[in-house]
A and B are shown apart, each in its own frame.
Chain A
Amino acid sequence: MHSDTRQALINIVGQGHLVDSHEDRLCYAYDASPIPMQPGHVPSLVVFPGCTEEVARIVRLANEVGFALCPRGAGSNVSGGSIPDRDAVVLVLTRMNRILAIDRANMIAEVEPGVITEQFQKEVERLGLFYPPDPSSKAFSTLGGNVAECAGGPRGAKYGVTRDYVLGLEVVMPTGEIIQTGARTMKSVAGLDLTRLMVGSEGTLGIVTRIILRLLALPPAKKTLMAIFPDLNSASETVAQVFMAGMVPATLELLDKTFIRAIEAYRQIGLPTDAEAILLIEVDGEPEALDRQAQRIAEICMNQGATRTQVAKDAAEAEELWIARRSAFASVSRIKPTIIGEDATVPRDKIPQAVREIQAIAARHQLTIAVLGHAGDGNLHPTILADERDPDEMRRVDLAVDELFRSMLALGGTLTGEHGIGRMKSPYLHLETGNAALAVMRTIKRALDPRNVLNPAIGLGG
């Protein structure tokens, strides 16, 4: 990087708010995706702007000088979307971490992008309000990152995903203008829906600097139920049956035996390590209705072949189960170090078939693919356990991933439910969108970002 450019960036953010040394920058050459660190991904500078105006000045400088910018929150992206290319500048938004307002009368909140998801949830819950999106990384992920990826989580089955809670945004556009999208009202149809365009755009169309979020009333009670199955197929068959009976659990998670054993090894909370699969189900709402709902779901599970169901005896036991569930991915890294957690999503009634195909692909390529999923919304996480130091295994992983994507799409599914396209799925995007839709996306990108400064290597095929 030219020294004038460097100095200009220092002048914008201040000397104390950037990291410069090669060793410091190495630590920004990766994110939580399995893409290994490589010299080609070491950015030229990492800056930590403190306000919207600083972000805008950095973006304008990038346009003038011509360098790429990679916005970053906690770096917990699992599709490689936070990984820069060499010579790019990483723009970390964690300093902008204020909760600006929680408005109880209108049930909305306004936050900066660096607020940690779980901290925000705790704040609103103290006021009897509820922000449902709960990605497994919520204890450290940022809301800005959640918006950029349209993060989901187990509660998606009943409550949807991040996009369902974003009413409006402040965005620094790729050419440096600051715009406001959406409104502070539940209803607004003024103009094109730029909010929805931005949510899930993976930092390619703008940098979110302020977020207006819709909140719900906190459900007064919840109950967690675990159903234990002797085979994976009957557990998968049960998912659609629950919904067909008119039950809408907040969360319905499917875990296979590989996950059950790895989680149990990590937390020792008494998961049945001899089971082939479990469904972890949470219902929420008025306390009077919960027992009946849980009872009804337990009956359905038993009718579908569950060997046993059990209800968490108190909130602490339930929370223990959910903490364990959130640590599932990292837990399996005790078995093999490289975890490729895919998030192909299929219509709910196709889950049994999807699971069978995943098992067939694993067998064909002699790989361990563990299955876990937010089954309630069809979002499966087939998780390939491998070792990046074994080139032959990694070659088979590539083949398996390719087949996996094609077969999930054939079932009417999508490449990614909530992780984003990032770097990892970019080459496959056209398989789902088709060439015409991909061309539309690229046209939008070119129109908004003519110098291609924002996340040029992310998300839009190639």
Chain B
Amino acid sequence: MDWKDLETSAVRCSRCGACQQVCPVYKELGTEAAVALGKIGLIRAATQGWIQDPAALSEMMSLCLACKACAANCPSGVQGDQLVLAARQRLVEEHGLPLLKRLILRFFLKHKAIFETGLRLGSVGQRVLFRRTPKGNLPRLPMGLDSKRLVPALAPRPLRSRYPVVVEAPDARGTVALFTGCMVNHVYPEIGEAAIAVLHQQGITVVLPPEQHCCGLAAHASGDQATALELGRATLACFEKCQVDAVLTLCGSCGNTLKHELGDWFSADTAMAPKAVVLAEQVQDFAQYLVAIGLRGPLSPLVGRVTYHESCHLTRGQGVKAQPRELIRAIPGLAFQEMSAPGQCCGSAGSFSLAHYDLTQKISARKTEDIRATGADTVVTGCPSCLMQLRDGLNQGGSETRVLHLAQLLASVLPRPQAQP
């Protein structure tokens, strides 16, 4: 592919400046190259051959959270985030991936067996690359991760190894497949346990297809489309075989990838495109599904004040905004308080937070302040990646506010399920 292919979308940017108003990176850096209109300008410059330093261009394209705020606010309908991701792809095609990303994406992530064995070794593997500190793990080597970035410990046993492939609910009123995603399977299995407990209690049989792997967004967002496509194919092949009412996701980004991205990635692939369409129709976010089937109470009361953080890919990517709030508000006794900007990105953006930690911290500090102003003791979100970032930000800000995935909040107010892992 060529830069010229991006021109048709890029030329529609009228450079009006509306993206400046909402871009979290522009808010911190204040330079034109930080915001969509500048990045689109650079894409057009690349089309004309006016770029002198591809490394500088790569760095600028890396400064995007892909939070979709610009796209949602663009009067001309330009998908700024998609253009940036496409540009990253061109840059990787032309100049390759940095060594660490190549190692992670092409060797580690792409090969499910190596990936899972590696992560299953858990603490051992992590000790090689990270040193433990009282606060968490810090990278040992300058390997493309910011040296101040705390990385949560890997779970000693991944989520899927804790359950049979089918977690049968008695007198089931529905059957779903659960796409666990890397973060829930390997870092926060407790989120998956909570979700399975809630679904089980609600009379929903949960299938955990063992062939599932990474959704591929991490590779796509790094411009490594070859790896992304391979992972996408594996996902489509895995869920094609499932006879279920819906495929549920617990992560805004995984969900958006399955629902929207795969269709784009395979749009020209006549064999895979129809499969992507079928999967997209099946995929639902956890909250969306529970609201659709009707959550059965009673819910036990909780005391406290809760606010809700919108994952970019859940709210703008998938349009799931109302359902999580509806479920939170259904819990008796809880006070719900909106932030002033619940849809503002937390700054995590997957590996963005690993590579640009200082910038992430600034973006995160705004979110932390917004949370603090609500007086909430609990922040609920629908994405494990946001959860990691929010915890880090609140911790750095000295706040005691806890962060829960919606599944964890619901599990705490529903009767204890019979099926424990």
Contacts and interface: CB of A to CB of B under 8 A. Distances in A.
Is chain B found bound to chain A in the same assembly? yes
Contacts of A11: none
Contacts of B16: 32, 76, 137, 329-330
Interface string B364-396: 000000000000000000000000000000000
B75 interface: yes
Given A27-B33, A32-B16, A22 B56 contact: yes
A75 interface: yes
Nearest to B10: A337
Contact of B11 (A76, A140, A141, A337): A337
A23 B75 contact: no
Interface string A251-284: 0000000000000001000000000000000000
A78 B93 CA distance: 36
A74 B20 contact: yes
A390 to B, nearest CB: 11
Contact of B75 (A76, A116, A330): A330
A126 interface: no
Interface string B42-67: 10110010111100110010000000
A22 B11 contact: no
Contacts, number: 99
A74 B32 CA distance: 9
Contacts of A139: 18, 21
Contacts of A339: 14
B177 interface: no
A94 interface: yes
Contacts of A37: 41, 44-45, 48
Interface in A263-321: 266
Contacts of B32: 24, 27-28, 75
B267 interface: no
Contacts of B20: 74, 140
- Counting chain B residues whose Cβ lies within 8 A of the other chain, the interface size class is 20 to 34
A331 interface: yes
A339 B76 CA distance: 11
Interface string B33-45: 1000010011011
Contacts of A141: 17
A330 B76 contact: yes
B39 to A, nearest CB: 8
A22 B53 contact: yes
Contacts of B12: 333-334, 337
B333 interface: no
A140 B76 contact: no
Given A21-B56, A334-B12, A26 B21 contact: no
B35 to A, nearest CB: 9
A266 B75 contact: yes
Contacts of B57: 23
B75 A140 contact: no
B403 interface: no
B72 to A, nearest CB: 12
Interface in A314-372: 327, 329-331, 333-334, 337-339
A23 B14 contact: no
A149 interface: no
A137 B50 contact: no
B269 to A, nearest CB: 28
A259 B76 CA distance: 13
A19 B60 CA distance: 12
* Most chain B CB atoms below 10 A, which of A28, A92, A94, A333: A333
B210 interface: no
A31 interface: yes
A206 to B, nearest CB: 23
A200 B76 CA distance: 28
A415 B111 CA distance: 65
A334 B76 contact: yes
A31 B32 CA distance: 10
Contacts of A75: 15, 17, 32
Interface string B17-32: 1101100000000111
Contact of B52 (A22, A95, A334): A22
A27 B38 contact: yes
A235 B221 CA distance: 50
Contacts of B14: 32, 329-330, 333, 337, 339
A34 to B, nearest CB: 8
Interface in A122-172: 137, 139-141
Contact of A27 (B17, B31, B74): B31
A270 B224 CA distance: 42
B88 to A, nearest CB: 15
A142 B32 CA distance: 15
B83 to A, nearest CB: 14
B45 A26 contact: yes
Given A94-B30, A333-B12, A334-B12, A24 B60 contact: yes
A187 interface: no
A48 interface: yes
Nearest to B32: A27
B41 A389 contact: no
A318 to B, nearest CB: 19
B77 interface: yes
Interface string A27-60: 1111110000101000000101000000000000
A432 interface: no
A76 B52 CA distance: 26
B11 A388 contact: yes
B60 A389 contact: no
Contacts of A32: 14-17
Interface string A377-398: 0000000000111000000000
A388 B51 CA distance: 21
A30 B17 CA distance: 12
A26 B17 contact: no
A137 to B, nearest CB: 6
B248 to A, nearest CB: 29
A76 B60 contact: no
A304 B280 CA distance: 52
A111 to B, nearest CB: 18
Contacts of A330: 14, 16, 18, 74-76
A19 B56 contact: no
Contact of B17 (A24, A95, A137, A388): A137
Interface string A62-90: 00000000000011100000000000000
Given A19-B31, A24-B60, A74 B17 contact: yes
A139 B77 CA distance: 17
Interface centre among A19, A95, A337 (most CB of B within 10 A): A337
Contacts of A19: 31, 33
Contacts of A39: 50
Given A27-B31, A46-B31, A388-B11, 9 more contacts: A19-B31, A27-B33, A27-B38, A27-B41, A30-B41, A31-B15, A116-B21, A140-B20, A334-B12
26 contacts: A21-B53, A22-B52, A23-B42, A23-B56, A24-B33, A24-B56, A26-B51, A30-B15, A31-B15, A37-B44, A39-B50, A74-B17, A75-B15, A137-B17, A139-B18, A140-B21, A266-B77, A327-B75, A329-B16, A330-B14, A330-B16, A330-B18, A331-B75, A331-B76, A333-B14, A339-B14
Q: Closest 6 CB pairs between A and B?
A: A330-B75, A27-B32, A327-B75, A27-B38, A76-B17, A333-B76
